[in-house]
Chains A and B, each alone.
Chain A
Amino acid sequence: MKLDVVTQEGARVKGLEVDEVILPGIVGEMGILPGHKAMVMGLGIGPMTLRGPSGEDRFALSGGFVEVLGDEIRVLSETCERACDIDVERARRRLDDATATLQASHPGEGEAYNVLLASVRKAQTRLDVAKAGPGR
């Protein structure tokens, strides 16, 4: 299967040959293997894992959607960071900052609270992905 990932900063992955992709769907993780039916799935915040001839690799995604058609997987996400490009220390600090801001606010604040919640989840994902590394 061929994988493409685009973000607003341009193509992150282009025509990469993969055997399996695990994506963070809105309602839960979903693995895509060759021969999957045509599908459009909304993405949440979470890790994307690729398995291919060149081994395993991980990325942190946030939002967007994926389109599966034939042997093409096209992911669109707000951000897509590769595990080896994330600095663990800085990711940890970002998570601490985000958590502190979240704790200082109240769920009653509506939309603003959801934004903070999302930023904590993003920071958590980045840290997890960075710690897990590219895998094997």
Chain B
Amino acid sequence: MPTLKQIRRRLTSVKNTQKITRAMKLVAAAKLRRAQENMLRAQPYANRIREVIWDLSEHTSRDVHPLLQVREEKKALMLVVTSDRGMCGAFNSNINRRAERYLRTKEGDHEELELALLGRKGRDYFRRRRYPVFKEYMEVLSSPSFDRVTEIGAEVTARFLDGGHDAVYVVYNEFKSAISQKVVVERLLPIVPEHDEAEVAAEAHLQGIEFGYEPSREAILNAVLPLYVNVRLYFAVLESLAAEMGARMTAMESATKNAGELLSRLTLQYNKARQASITKEMLEIVSGAEAMR
């Protein structure tokens, strides 16, 4: 049975921890909102690029740009997007485990698969397990900027173009909602234009309109494809960030709740101990008085 003083010390410490987790939850909530706003702002840009690429590539051959060419995937690169900080539940371990499974089971059927790690948590995980790492990028999620992502995109694209990698994949947490994330593996390069039904319908009114292309379809495609790589990577980063904040919010929420439960248990224990010590003292006094008679 712990002494009163010990319980009191525990109580204060748990209370302080609860204050911290509650503050972290609030911070994560605020950052989540910002991350969502960023996603919303970048959305029209990404959509427009996708529309135009789809439209242009439909009428041109795939040989027109090396970024569209599908090669036999011997050497591939996998970008793993993790956070720099912990305290966000299973966010990082989910993604690391998924990436490792991909590596071990040779899911993609590549002869060689290299890793590029965005974020400290992924780096720590794969370094410990001694996997070959192509490149590490730190502090991307903590301050996501388009310029930084563009640099990474340019580097990855350059490697793809000079034949260093035949394909590039991104593993990241898709932001479903504030309380749920989903780990996804997406192919970044080569670009395979995709179009969903809603967009096809939205463009129906463009049928029959004769567009002029200045200077040519190919030239526009060449200029826009690299932007597409960057914007997709940027989106993966923004989604990861939102997902990270969502995961942290949930984790800190339950930590705060657990601390609350612990506090009520400790308080009960404390009161019992206090009562016990009072009873003990009373007994001593009474029995002392009894003995004196």
Contact = CB atoms under 8 A, between A and B. Distances in A.
Interface of A: 6-11, 25-27, 30, 37-43, 63-65, 67, 69, 74, 76, 78, 111, 115
Nearest to B162: A111
Given A8-B231, A41-B220, A78-B227, A115 B154 contact: yes
B223 A63 contact: yes
B215 A7 contact: no
Given A64-B224, A76-B49, A40 B211 contact: yes
Interface in B225-242: 227, 231, 234
Contacts of B146: 8-9
B212 A39 contact: yes
21 contacts: A6-B45, A6-B48, A7-B45, A9-B146, A10-B45, A11-B41, A26-B214, A27-B214, A27-B215, A37-B212, A38-B210, A38-B211, A40-B55, A40-B211, A40-B220, A41-B215, A43-B223, A65-B52, A76-B45, A76-B49, A111-B158
A39 B52 contact: no
A10 B214 contact: no
A38 B207 CA distance: 12
B185 to A, nearest CB: 24
Q: When A and B form their complex, which 7 residue pairs have the shortest distance between CB atoms, in order from nearest?
A: A10-B41, A41-B214, A42-B220, A39-B212, A42-B223, A6-B44, A76-B48
A42 B48 contact: no
B209 A69 contact: yes
Chain B contact residues, majority secondary structure = helix
Contacts of B52: 40, 65, 67, 76
Contacts of B42: 8-10
Contacts of A65: 52, 220, 223-224
Interface string B36-63: 0000011011001100100110000000
B4 interface: no
A26 B215 contact: yes
B219 interface: yes
A41 B223 CA distance: 10
B29 to A, nearest CB: 22
B213 A39 contact: yes
B172 to A, nearest CB: 18
Contacts of B219: 26, 42
For chain B, which range describes its interface: under 10, 10 to 19, 20 to 34, or 35 or more residues? Answer: 20 to 34
Contact of A10 (B44, B49, B210): B44
Nearest to B221: A42
B212 A40 contact: yes
A9 B41 contact: yes
A29 B45 CA distance: 23
A38 B220 contact: no
Nearest to B235: A8
A8 B224 CA distance: 13
A6 B44 CA distance: 7
A127 B158 CA distance: 30
Contact of A8 (B45, B206, B210, B213): B45
Contacts of B210: 37-38
B67 to A, nearest CB: 14
Given A10-B41, A76-B52, 15 more contacts: A7-B45, A9-B146, A26-B214, A26-B223, A30-B214, A38-B209, A38-B211, A38-B212, A39-B212, A39-B214, A41-B220, A42-B215, A64-B223, A64-B224, A115-B154
B239 to A, nearest CB: 15
A115 B154 CA distance: 10
Contacts of A25: 214-215
A27 B223 CA distance: 12
Nearest to A25: B214
A57 B80 CA distance: 43
Contacts of A26: 214-215, 219-220, 223
